[in-house]
Amino acid sequence: MRIVLVSRYPRADFPSWKRDLAARLLEMEVELGVLYSRAPLTDHLRAAMGEVGLDVVRGYRGRRSSSPAAASRAVPERRSLAAWARRRGIPVMLHRGLGDPDCADALRAFRPDLVVLAGADIVPAALLGIPAAGSINPHYGLLPKYRGMNVTEWSIHHDDPVGVTIHDVSPGIDTGDILLQEAVRVEAADTLPTLRRKHQDAAARLLVDAVARIRSGTIERRGQADDQGRQYYRMHPLLLERVERKLRDGSYRWIGEEPPELMRGAT
Amino acid sequence: MRAGSQLAALPLIAVRDAAASSIAGIGAPRYGVRPGALQAAMDWLCLSHEATGRRGSSMAFSLIFGWRPAYPETTGYIIGTLLAHAGRTGDERYVDHARTMGDWEIKVQSDDGGTMGGFVRPRPGPSIAFNTGMVLHGWLDLYESLGHERFLDAGRRAGDFLVRTQDFDGAWRGTHAHRGIAHAYKARVAWALLRLAESASENRYRDAAARNLEWVLERQRPNGWFECCEFEPGALPNTHGIAYTLRGLLESHELLGDPRFLGAALLSSEVLMRKLEVLGTLPATFDSTWAPGAGYVCLTGMAQLGGVWLRLYQLTGDARLLNAGLKAVDQAAAHQERRRWKPLAGPLPGSFPIWGRYAPLQYPNWATKFLADALMLRDDCLAQAT
């Protein structure tokens, strides 16, 4: 089976769950490729200033300084997925945007059976038609109710359970068929960063399970109706503060509770 | 700074906006309402009243011409903002300003009961339906707050004018319409008529409002865009006019209980919330496919839409509307002028950048009014969401 992982910002693609996912897929003896959008350095700089602000400078200075204080502020030394892949001879395709014609050509040339989105930009329809078995995406929210962005935070805001959904990628936003789902258990000590790591770990595990089922032809699909969910957007800082407070003060309904049974992946 | 000093401020403000808009495109998102924003806006509205010798509120502070003359249309709905702030603070000065404005509006009310377009002139122009509706809001606010019959009497005369000049299909056009054309944003006039119907206990005002609202609903396309929402023939609808339309619809839903009006407001809001998210801001105009039509932001419209979404949150409990409302209010408030010189201590410019085509190089009184309204709603909604 030929699989392409799609991500962005190759120089800064550090989250470990992506390397874990890639490593597990290699163990399944798939042929792997990695495709990146936002590859140019200028895109990195613009995004860093826009999304991270001055932390990008602090992180860089921390790496260069030997003082413990500076090191504590530094972005931890990690290897990006792109670098990890290159060291293993895995093809890495770099493009400005997923909509670029040469991006579609490169993907077509790889002849993927499946595309797995791993923190990717929105995929244009032209790319969706290339892999024979389609494209799948890990969504950090329980579909169909929570579509869009910051859905973990929105779920906590509404006192709903949090979790991960693996779904087919369709032209709509998070509206494709649901393949696998798993709620994430929230403990008293959890914060948004720890929950994010739990979601990432669950995503890697569920994606491997989904790939195995797709390859064996045993995957089950559950469709979504448009009116079953709503699209959520980036959460305003004032509302985000309230979500963080709900976790801190224990008022979030699902702290310490067993989450609901869903379309669980194999554990 | 002395009178005429606005010309000295102009290059500083222009350079600032040029730098800000070049860094990340128009409307570089900035989050956070600065401390004292609401009080600064209210102080400026009071100053705009003093600037005309306590006639109406000055139309705007211009960076070219300084304080402009009193402007009946927008003085009308600034009254409500003053009274709302008085209710929250207990400060009677705002009631005094509002009452004085209301009496001035009675003084300049035309013989036909309407409100003239533009400034007060020795030979007034024709009464304009939209302007009349906005002043009607102010008189009703005063009547509801103070109980003084003279304001209801003036409101009845305005309402009679609106009923008399309404076309058979519910729209206002021709002599008594801005540029002679019908506008969807006159849903805000319908809202005023519904309020008058309740205060005066007369159904004919409600019937006229209902006719207009049906006409407005028929102008909405399936994608949420409103035909006839532009200010000028051949122009694109501005977020200022769109927000007028949505606010008129949602408040009319509250008064009539007709879910279609709320549904129409939510349909357009869903589209605009997504635009705000994807574009990072809201350009001043959109075409019928909701493609941006301008390279500047109408800050009045941004503040108004923030207020619309916060009101919709109050009505529906949909926290996504609260989220979008907070973002829109943040963006508008980020451009509030907060200099020490009083004419520039608290107002909102017409556009970002300051030279944008909507009220360029000036601080309209209605922009600051809508910012103040949105800031008050923001406080209420954040308390509600706790």
Is B326's Cβ below 8 Å from some Cβ in A? yes
Q: A-B interface: how many C-beta pairs under 8 angstroms?
A: 36
Find, among B367, B378, B267, B244, the residue nearest to B323 by Cα.
Answer: B378
Residue A231: CB atoms within 10 A of its CB come to 18
Q: Which residues of B touch A158 (CB under 8 A)?
A: 319
Which of B320, B330, B381 best probes binding to A when mutated, by most A CB atoms within 10 angstroms? B320
ipTM (interface pTM): 0.91
pTM, entire model? 0.90
Is B316's Cβ below 8 Å from some Cβ in A? no
Is A69's Cβ below 8 Å from some Cβ in B? no
Which pLDDT does position B261 carry in this prediction? 98
The HSE-up count of residue B156 (CA atoms within 13 Å, CB side) is 10
Q: At what angle do helices B239-256 and B187-200 cross, to 10 degrees?
A: 30
Burial of B314 (0-12, 13-18, 19+ CB in 10 A): middle
Which member of A50, A158, A234 has the closest CB to residue B277? A234
Which pLDDT does position B150 carry in this prediction? 98
- Which residues neighbour B124 within 8 Å (Cβ) at sequence distance 6 or greater? B108, B110, B116
CB contact under 8 Å between B326 and A157, yes or no, is no
Q: What whole-number distance in Å separates Cα of residue A10 and Cα of residue A12?
A: 5
Is B320's Cβ below 8 Å from some Cβ in A? yes
Specify whether the backbone of A98 is left (phi greater than 0), alpha (psi in -120 to 50) or beta: alpha
Is B273's Cβ below 8 Å from some Cβ in A? yes
Q: What whole-number distance in Å separates Cα of residue A39 and Cα of residue A158?
A: 37
Find, among B274, B327, B332, the residue nearest to B302 by Cα.
Answer: B332
Residue of A nearest to B327 (CA): A236
Residues 228-257 of A with CB under 8 A from B: 230-239, 242
CB contact under 8 Å between A233 and B31, yes or no, is no
- C-alpha B29, offset from chain centre: 22
Which pLDDT does position A62 carry in this prediction? 42
Is B381's Cβ below 8 Å from some Cβ in A? no
Place of tokens 């009220």: B359
Per-residue pLDDT for chain B (386 aa), expressed as one digit of tens each?
Answer: 555 677 778 888 888 888 777 665 554 455 569 999 999 999 999 999 999 999 999 999 999 999 999 999 999 999 999 999 999 999 999 999 999 999 999 999 999 999 999 999 988 899 999 999 999 999 999 999 999 999 999 999 999 999 999 999 999 999 999 999 999 999 999 999 999 999 999 999 999 999 999 999 999 999 999 999 998 888 999 999 999 999 999 999 999 999 999 999 999 999 999 999 999 999 999 999 999 999 999 999 999 999 999 999 999 999 999 999 999 999 999 999 999 999 999 999 999 999 999 999 999 999 999 999 999 999 999 998 87
The tokens of A176 are what?
């494709």
Gap from B221 CA to chain A (nearest CA, Å): 20
φ and ψ at residue A34, rounded to 5 degrees: -125, 130
User: For chain A (length 267 residues), average pLDDT per consecutive 10?
Assistant: 93 87 94 91 74 47 45 54 91 91 92 94 88 95 96 97 96 93 96 96 95 95 93 96 96 92 55
Q: Which residues of B touch A242 (CB under 8 A)?
A: 385-386
Find, among B200, B170, B175, B202, the residue nearest to B187 by Cα.
Answer: B170
CB contact under 8 Å between B323 and A236, yes or no, is yes
Q: Which residues of A touch B324 (CB under 8 A)?
A: 233
CB contact under 8 Å between A234 and B330, yes or no, is no
Q: What whole-number distance in Å separates Cα of residue B17 and Cα of residue B337?
A: 12
Which pLDDT does position A78 carry in this prediction? 59
Is A50's Cβ below 8 Å from some Cβ in B? yes
Which member of A149, A232, A238 has the closest CB to residue B326? A238
B362-364, strands of its sheet edge to edge: B66-67, B60-62, B362-364
What is the DSSP-derived secondary structure letter of residue A94? E
Residues 151-190 of A with CB under 8 A from B: 154, 157-158
Which pLDDT does position A73 carry in this prediction? 46
Which pLDDT does position A72 carry in this prediction? 44
Which pLDDT does position A264 carry in this prediction? 58
SS3 annotation, B247-291? HHHHHHHHHHCCHHHHHHHHHHHHHHHHHHHHHCCCCCEECCCCC
Q: What whole-number distance in Å separates Cα of residue B25 and Cα of residue B13?
A: 17
Which pLDDT does position A51 carry in this prediction? 54
Q: Which residues of A touch B319 (CB under 8 A)?
A: 154, 157-158, 239
CB contact under 8 Å between A236 and B273, yes or no, is no
Find, among A79, A100, A87, the residue nearest to A35 by Cα.
Answer: A100
CB contact under 8 Å between B274 and A231, yes or no, is yes
The tokens of B187 are what?
């849903």
CB contact under 8 Å between B274 and A154, yes or no, is no
Which pLDDT does position B16 carry in this prediction? 83
